[in-house]
Structure formats: C-alpha cells, structure tokens
Chain A
Amino acid sequence: MLGDLGRPLAGRLLALVPVLFGITLLVFILNAVALGDPARAAMGQRADPEALERMRREYALDRPLPVQYVTWMGRVLRGDLGQSFREQRPVTEVIIERLPATIRLAVAATLISIVLGVAMGALAAVRPGSTLDHALMGAAVLGISTPVFWLGMMLSLVFAVNLGWLPVSGYGGGDPRYLVLPAFALGALHTGTVARMTRSSLLEVVRQDYMQTARAKGLSEPLVLAKHAFRNALIPIVTVIGIGLADLLVGAPLTETVFAWPGVGRLLVAAVSQRDLPVVMGAVMVFALVYVLGNLAVDLAYLVIDPRTRRGAS
C-alpha cells in the first residue's frame, strides 16, 4: 500500500517548499510594514544610542530589507533559523525547548475532540430529533461558539480555584493533571465541529440501501452502525479533523497564555510584540509545517479508510 503512496507523498512534500517560502515572505513583509524597531524593542525604556547601533549591526538590521530576507533564507537553507533578538540565542533552541509542550497540548486536545466529538455525534445520530440529540447538538454549538480564552478562564475558576481538583495553570514538569484543563479548553471548539459532522455523516449513511441490506441480514443495530455505517461516514469526519488543525493552531496561543503553558504559541505572541522577527518566522514555519503535514496525514488516512482513493492516488 505504501508503494501506492510514494508518489503523492513526494508530491505533497515538494509542494511544502513553495508554501513555506510564501509564508515566510508574507510574514517578513508584514513585519516590515508593521512599525517598530526590533533593536529598540529589545532595549527597554531607556535606549543608549551606542547600544542600539551595536545591536542593529550585530543582527544586520541596518541592511536593506531584501538583503535581510535573502540572508535569512540562505541561513534557513543551511538549517540555521538565526538568533533571537530578545533572548540572544539560536531560534532553533528557543523553539525546540517549547515544542514538546505544544505537541502534548495539541495531541491531547485532538484526542479529546475526536473521542468526545465522535461519541456525541454517534449518540445523537442513534435517535435523531430526540431530547438527547438536541442536548448534545446544543452542547456542540456551545463548544463551537465559546471563545477559548473565556472557556479557559471559566474552567480554571471552577475546577481549579473553587473545587481545587486540578492545578490552575503551568506545566508541572509534565504532570498530566496540568494538561487536563488546557486540553479541554483547546479541544472544546473542535469537539463541537466533529460531533456535528459525525451526526450528519452517520444520518446520511444510515439512509443508504446497503444499510437496509445489512439490517435485512439480521445484524443488530449497534453492529450495523459500527461495521457498516461508521466506516462509510469516516471520510467527512476525518476531513473535519484535518481542518480542525487550523483551529488548534489558532487556539494554541490563547490557551497557552491563559494556562501559562510553555509552548510555541505563547512564544509567538511574545515575539510578535517584541518584533523578534527570527522567532516569529521560525514559529510560523513550525505552525505551517504542522498544518501541512497534518493535512497530509489526513490524505493518507483517506487511502487507508477508502480503498477507492488508492486507485486515484496511484
């Protein structure tokens, strides 16, 4: 099967190159258009002219913008993302030490949204129009429309401050209890989307003729749903999960800020306000990579779920 996948996989990976190039160029231009001098931002309220000049020289900020971009790109091609203006150390180091926290959070939030979303959607689809269906879909809409920032604060207030069940914020050296609230806050938005898509997909599939055939064969309803309906309903669900990566990436900086989670999202927010361009470019590249690779994984999942797509791919 992987042999079938080689060419599309290579194609997708190659397509990543212009995407990343375009994104970095866009971010660089936006940063140039936005006002602000990185050297001045790094210097605090009292800036010494000599120190400002020295920093501009050290980081080539006194060079024309196109030269700065080409120099940066040249370094990137050699595997060097440059130096952080703020922390004055390699960007790769700055990002890598925060990446595991973001990955943990994103994976946990994705798992929560898949497990909860699929379960809610399936339960709602079993009895469409019932009170349970309305309640579950109501909860799904609430999840989609609640801002991550607000939900995070409420979860923290209820479960950490008032009930004292979980920590308010922080990383806790990897203690899983610290992951629960941020993962739920970040996963909530996507849980609703997955639940709604699961319900509508399942409802569409259960009306198909082959479902009647399965029932006519004497299979029980749960077995019909699990074996015949669910597999056929998976494609749109997997698509939504893939698209949901974008929601996770948008929500990560907010969630990481509310829960003081030491990830790349929070780093990006601080770097933008500090005009720490090398870090902004590095963090954006990481997010772009995650998004593109995530969608690639979704495409691969299609091939596993639906054999017909394999023929198309090869």
Chain B
Amino acid sequence: MSRIAAMVALAALAIASAVLAQPPRQGGTLRGVFNSDPPTLDPAAASDTTSSAVIRQVFDGLLELDEKLVPQAALAERWTVTGDQRIYTFTLRRGVKFHNGREVKAADVKYSFERAAKGKRPWVFEKITGARDYIKGTGSEIPGIRVVDDTAVEIRLDKPFAPFLHLMAYDAAAVVPREEVEKRGGNFASHPVGTGAFRFASWRRDDQVVLERFRDHFRGAPPLERVVFRIIPAEITRFNEYRAGQLDFTDIPTGHCQAAKADRELAGEVAIWPTLGTHGLRFNVEKPPFNDARLRKAVAHAIDPSIIVDRLLEGCVQAAQGILPPSLPGYAAGVKRLALDRELSKRLLAEAGFQGGRGLPAIAFNFNTSDANQRIAEVLQSQLKELGMTVELRRLDWAAHIKLVDDGNVSFFRQGWIADYPDPENFLTVLFHSRNVGAAGNTSRYRNPKLDRLFDEADTLAQPAARYARYAEAEQIILDDAVWISLYHYTSRALIKRSVKGLERTALSSAPEFLSPLRKVWLEK
C-alpha cells in the first residue's frame, strides 16, 4: 500500500513538475483594471500608483526590483560603487532599443534624470551632487550625473545614501528618448515612448489604456500580445465585471473579504498578501492639547486596534505593533506600541490635569472620506469616551484633509503611509525627520534631535544590520513618545483568475494596480 502511495505521489510530482515547467503560452490579452484614469503616462509628471502601473510596463529604468524587492539589472547590465558609497557607475546593456527603434545611450539617462528632477518627484534625484540647485532653477544641469561614454553613466552623491539603488529602480527614474519628448511636447504624457516590454497602443480617457507587446524588448518579446487596463471607478462594478468574466484580476470590494473567501466560485481566486503600508493615527505635537505627551500617551494606551482589525476589517489586514510593516526590509519585531492599559490612561489623563476627562475640551479627530475610515473613527470615538474624552469626528475629502494636516491646523488625525520603495528611510526619515515638517511628510511636526541623528546615520550607513538597528531605536522612541499610533498594516486583497500565471504579488503591489512586471505574465487558457 505504501509503495502504491509512493508511486502515486511520484506520478503526481512528475505531472506537477511538467505543468510547472511548461513554457509560457504565447499570445492573449490580459484584462486588468484601474479605479481611476491615470493623470499622465509620463514618468516625470506622475505621482500616483495608477500612472506608475502603466509607466512600469512601457519604460525601463537602470535597475528594477525583483519579486523579493532586491534591485536587479535592467537597462544597466552591471554597476559599481566606490568604497565611500558616493559614486555609482552604471554600464548600460548594448543594443537596447526604444519603441521608436533608436538605441539607448548614456546621454538618455542624464537627459531623463534631469528632466524628471524638474517634475513631480524631484526627491528621487535630490541626493545627487548639484541636484538641489538644479531643481531650484539655479543650475543649468546636474553636475553629479556624468556621461562617461555611450554605455556608461556615473552618478555622484553629496553623501552616501543607502537606499540609492532603490531610487534607480523607481519609475520616476525611467529612461525616455529625448527626440520623442521634444517632438511630442505635452502630448508625450498621452503617447509615451519607452523601452519597456509593452509599447503604448491607445488610451481613451476614463475608458481604457491599451498596451501591446514590444517584440524588440531587450529581454525578448513578452508572452502576452496585449494588455488592456479598463478604468472603472466603482468597486462594485469592477467586481461585477470580474464575475462576468470580463476582467482577469481586480480588487475585492470593501467589506467583501470574508464573503469572497467563503464563495465557492471565488475562493480559489482570492489572493491576500501584505503590502508596504501602515494605517496610523497622528498627533500634531505643536498644537494643544497634544503638545502634552501625557495626553498622547493616554490616548495610545486607551486604543484597542484588535476590534478594528478583527471585526471592522474582517481580519483581512495585519495587526500592527510598530510603524514599519513586517514585509519591509528592516522591520524589527521587537519594536512595540504602547500597550492597551486603560487604568494607566486614566492616570495619565489625571496627571495632565484632566481627571476623568473633566476640563478637557472636545477633541476633533480629522480623517479623509471613506467608509472604512468613518467606521474606524467611530470605534476610536467610543473607546476614548470610556476614558472621559469627547471626540468630534471631522470628515473631509482627501484634498481638504491633507491641506489641513500639512498646514498643521489639526491636532489629531488619521494618516496612512505606503512606502514608495522598500526601505525604512522611506517610512521613518520621511515621516519624522525634523527637516520634513509639513507636506514633505512630518505632519506630526515632531522635532527630536536624537531622532534626527539616528536617521542621518542610518540613511548613510552601508551595513544593513547597523542601519536597521538605528531605525528600530528611532521607531521605538516615536512610539514611546506617542507621536504616532499604528492601527494596522495594509494588505492587498485581489481576485485573480486561475488562468493568469506569473503575476507577481510583491509587497509593492496593491490591487487593482499591480506594479510588478507584466512581461512575466502569461495566460493558460
């Protein structure tokens, strides 16, 4: 019997191996979806994930992130870095072609970076020597970018910056052909030309973006013939389109996570994976009453996020202890939030002069409009009421919310953060360094010299272990000082048809926009 079982197992393994090893089927159209129209398809003008999802297919950068979020060669076939971690030299692959047939040269890299530095995401380039002056308009070029010859470009940094290679894999640093940009002018944003595995085919605004296979891609033609991104704003419509078989993947509508898992038809198509984001509560430490750390700590000790995670969000997100999500390199499991302790909360409130909440004026809690945010705010309101605190809910659309938050006009507010690239610097330094107070990220307006020193060291160190130790120390200081209260870490919740193969679910991807390379995707049917 055991011999038969072993034979069956072996046969199954052989079949499974054969299936797994089968070459990707060529052809077919992948039908994806976005929830809004991309504002632009120009890497220099983009600042949103929808635009990025298309840009990453049409353009390449010097590097790209693999499924483990490690930078790998793309347009650059190799690179070197000097011992002081300040000079990077990238050697380009030979024979890489733009979609217009012209070969990529090192001068294209310099042109693209200088162009993008004056775009919406100049922070990607600001570490390069001379970039700040150029961005401000006082320099005619970025001297830190030097074209060595047609196949090599050297980039010099003001000082070492550990996540620099991640920036070179970021879509703002995509390489564009100068002649196409100049020929098309503003229309380049709606008729992009890059080197990517898919070339731009058409775009009907608010309807769909169509890409088609680029046969001369330097990695070879991708299996898919076409990719169609439909633009469907209502999540229930996206869900209906998926059920009607008109989409190959989509997101799961809010509140349908468990229902989708329990649905017999959908269960095998549900995919949930952690992403690089955290939903948190922030205090403006300059504004009363939360300029008093005791009051911030009283709130932190009184909030029980488990109700939000398990009940409101159906257990489909990750409970949070710290600020950094577990999927981010540098995550420290030892970092802990202030523990739930309502007695301690009451004592802290009394120490601050508000025994039982008496004398404490009503506190406004600001959040941006969404059903989930509304329900979370109601839970917080009810939990803080037990402490004797009266919380008034202030719901505004995102544009109004972020304006108040950036300007420091609110004292207690909701803020989520999703990393642009997988490094703690993109979370902690951006959100809490004193030089980033305001719209640049530090909306808590927190100024702590010790924290700044830890960030300055960690951002420049080459050794990951030493860097991560400093970030962990900084993260614990922030949590202990109750500047930020983490509620949960984001996950991506998607439905993906079984016929779709090779769609990477990296922590940077969040459905419905998959930022992973679609050149690896093929359709089984």
Contact = CB atoms under 8 A, between A and B. Distances in A.
Interface of A: 34-38, 40-52, 54, 86-89, 94, 97-98, 153, 156-157, 160-161, 164, 167-171, 257-260, 262-263, 266-267, 270, 273-275
B286 interface: no
A43 B243 contact: no
Top 7 A-B residue pairs of the complex, sorted by shortest distance between their CB atoms: A36-B399, A44-B47, A262-B206, A35-B400, A41-B399, A47-B439, A262-B207
B228 to A, nearest CB: 10
Contact of B48 (A44, A157, A263): A44
A308 B206 CA distance: 47
19 contacts: A34-B400, A36-B400, A41-B398, A41-B399, A43-B47, A46-B121, A46-B123, A46-B441, A50-B135, A54-B118, A88-B40, A89-B190, A161-B244, A168-B241, A171-B204, A260-B231, A260-B237, A266-B206, A274-B399
Contact of B119 (A36, A51, A52, A160): A51
Given A97-B205, A170-B207, A257 B234 contact: yes
B430 interface: yes
A147 to B, nearest CB: 14
A35 B403 contact: yes
A168 B37 CA distance: 18
Interface string B423-466: 00000001000000011110000000000000000000000000
Contact of A88 (B45, B204, B417): B45
B16 interface: no
Interface in B404-422: 404, 406, 417-418, 420
B396 interface: yes
A40 B406 contact: yes
A55 to B, nearest CB: 8
Interface centre among A38, A45, A156 (most CB of B within 10 A): A45
Contact of B122 (A50, A86, A273): A50
Contacts of B240: 156-157, 160-161, 168-169
A112 B206 CA distance: 25
B136 interface: yes
B128 to A, nearest CB: 14
Given A44-B47, A88-B45, A259-B237, A98 B206 contact: yes
B189 interface: yes
Most chain A C-beta atoms within 10 Å of own C-beta, residue among B48, B119, B403, B404: B403
A37 B399 contact: yes
Given A46-B441, A156-B237, A273 B399 contact: yes
Nearest to A94: B205
A166 B40 CA distance: 31
B47 A35 contact: no
A42 B39 contact: yes
Contacts of A157: 240
B428 to A, nearest CB: 14
Nearest to A171: B207
A170 B34 CA distance: 13
A195 to B, nearest CB: 29
Nearest to A274: B399
Nearest to A34: B400
Contact of A161 (B243, B406, B441): B243
A88 B207 CA distance: 19
Given A36-B397, A43-B120, A88 B186 contact: yes
Contacts of B246: 167-168
A101 to B, nearest CB: 8
Contacts of B27: none
Given A35-B403, A87-B39, A48 B440 contact: yes
Contacts of B40: 87-88
A264 B511 CA distance: 26
Given A35-B403, A36-B400, A260-B231, 10 more contacts: A36-B397, A36-B402, A46-B420, A46-B440, A47-B406, A49-B438, A160-B240, A161-B240, A171-B204, A262-B206
A48 B122 contact: yes
Contact of A86 (B39, B186, B234, B241): B39
A114 B158 CA distance: 70
B375 to A, nearest CB: 20
B236 interface: yes
B297 interface: no
A169 B440 CA distance: 39
B402 A41 contact: yes
A267 B206 contact: yes
A45 B204 contact: no
B230 A260 contact: yes
Contacts of B232: 169-170, 260
Given A47-B440, A153-B236, A170 B206 contact: no
Interface string B9-48: 0000000000000000000000000001101100001011
B230 A170 contact: yes
| Residue among A38, A47, A167 with the highest chain B CB neighbour number at 10 A | A47
